[in-house]
Amino acid sequence: MIFVDRALQDRAESGRPIKVGMIGAGFMGKGIANQIINSVPGMELVAIANRNIDPARQAYVQAGVKDVQVVNTVKELSAAIATGKYAVTEDPMLLCHVAEVDALIEVTGAVEFGAQVVMEGIAYRKHIVMMNAELDGTIGPILKIYADKAGVVLTACDGDQPGVQMNLYRFVKSIGLTPLLCGNIKGLQDPYRNPTTQAAFAKKWGQKAHMVTSFADGTKISFEQAIVANGTGMKVARRGMLGYEFKGHVDELTQMYDAEQLKEWGGIVDYVVGAQPSPGVFVFATHDDPQQCHYLNLYKLGEGPLYSFYTPYHLCHFEVPISVARAVLFKDYVLAPLDAPMVDVVTTAKINLKAGETIDPIGYYMTYGQCENADIAHQQNLLPMGLAAGCRLKRDITKDSAITYDDVELPTDRLCDRLRNEQSAYFYPSKTLVGAG
């Protein structure tokens, strides 16, 4: 959003910087901290909350900030902000409660913890930017209902693939075309990867093995494409998406889809493995005006009926501050659910599972996530991937089988389960609720 830089410069020159709190100080959190502190005039990262205080402090130190204050109360945090000091805390609710914070960046990737923080932030009228597709893909629609009622923006972020797709989608619509496919380009897709197989790669890049596994086994891209579907009204062509392997340029991929079929589906989200430019995103669209099609051909987009638009990169944390500025200054969200969920991410057995076992977290050894159209997931009582961790299996599950609510006992007293149940009741009022979701 090219106008954001001037709006932030105006904030900087007038001495009214946007004040931001961040929850999470992992690999991406540290990058965001560096970006805001050193490259974004008109915005201040006034506080970071993390379960362990040291990574929060390190995020500031690595960005060149030496004077960091540990705070334990709202009063202490407010005083630190008033005196221009950077604050760290183990209590994320302080960032929600303090009046001086304009917006929160949630970058934990945790569903239950993230739900607690986001709901508290909404209750205290904070705009919220989520770098947490897992939370968004599980209970984003009901969180959006709460945010709308509170008059705040709840959004995914620029820079991550879903936000880049949505910006491209909006651009394509703005020039008069009809988007029919939003796609993600991957270099690898293997649902059986685990933290052991991904350990070396994770170590090389300073990331956590389970996080890298969620990229490789398809869970992360499933959450990403689910939230794009929920933000555009699109669906998936089949469980798990089509996921073609294609080694050419993404422009050539238009020949592998039928425009009329895409129209009949109402548009789909998908991914491709191996295409170029990697790791980019793409939108395929059509145009009904023969005169405009003639111009598109002249401008080297081909004869149609599908026209290819792509962004050859995604810059993750570099662009997150743009999302904050869009929310605070313009009440503009990057990506949020339109209404009822269109696509869910369902839990699938990565190995043969045994009754009595407790499902491990996302990106570990037992499960992977797949996209499924939300109406089917609801009808079949399928267990959302974002709720699977901690569930105890009632029966054996064979490898590659989808797991249902009937197959598990849920952990007790989780906010994410209550919100998921509320989401189902809100968007499926005429249907009998199934399971606990």
Outline where DSSP puts E strands in 305-432: 307-311, 343-349, 367-373, 392-393, 408-409
Q: Cα(304)–Cα(297) distance, rounded to whole angstroms?
A: 8
pLDDT tens-place string over residues 58-77? 999 999 999 999 999 999 99
pLDDT tens-place string over residues 383-433? 999 999 999 999 999 999 999 999 999 999 999 999 999 999 999 886 544
Indicate the pairing of strand 408-409 with strand 392-393: antiparallel
- What is the pLDDT, as a whole number, of residue 381? 97
Provide the total of helices (H) and of strands (E) in the chain, helices listed first: 16, 16
113 closest CA partner among 415, 421, 420, 437: 415
258: phi then psi, degrees, rounded to nearest 5: -100, 115
Outline where DSSP puts E strands in 331-386: 343-349, 367-373
Q: State both tokens at 318.
A: 């570099």
Q: Is a pLDDT exceeding 50 seen at residue 128?
A: yes
Task: Go through the domains of the chain in sequence order and give each one's CATH number.
Answer: 4-160+317-330 (3.40.50.720), 161-314+339-437 (no CATH)
pLDDT tens-place string over residues 14-32? 999 999 999 999 999 999 9
Q: Cα(93)–Cα(52) distance, rounded to whole angstroms?
A: 15
Q: Is a pLDDT exceeding 80 seen at residue 2?
A: no
- What is the pLDDT, as a whole number, of residue 204? 86
Position 329 confidence tier, pLDDT thresholds 50, 70, 90? very high
pTM, two decimals, is 0.95
The C-alpha R_g of the chain, in whole angstroms, comes to: 22
Q: Cα(258)–Cα(279) distance, rounded to whole angstroms?
A: 24
- What is the pLDDT, as a whole number, of residue 209? 86
Provide CB contacts within 8 A for 266, sequence distance 6+: 233, 234, 235
Are 183 and 257 a contacting pair, CB within 8 Å? no
Query: How far is residue 405 from each of residues 280, 408, 437, measured CA to CA in Å?
Result: 35, 6, 8
Average pLDDT, the chain: 95
Three-state SS for 370?
strand
43 closest CA partner among 2, 89, 102, 98: 102
pLDDT tens-place string over residues 173-225? 999 999 999 999 999 998 999 999 999 888 888 888 887 888 889 999 999 99
Three-state SS for 96?
helix
Provide CB contacts within 8 A for 188, sequence distance 6+: 216, 273
Residue 117: is it exposed, middle or buried by C-beta count within 10 angstroms (0-12/13-18/19+)?
buried
**Any idea what the Cα angle at residue 222 is, between residues 220 and 228, rounded to 5°?**
105
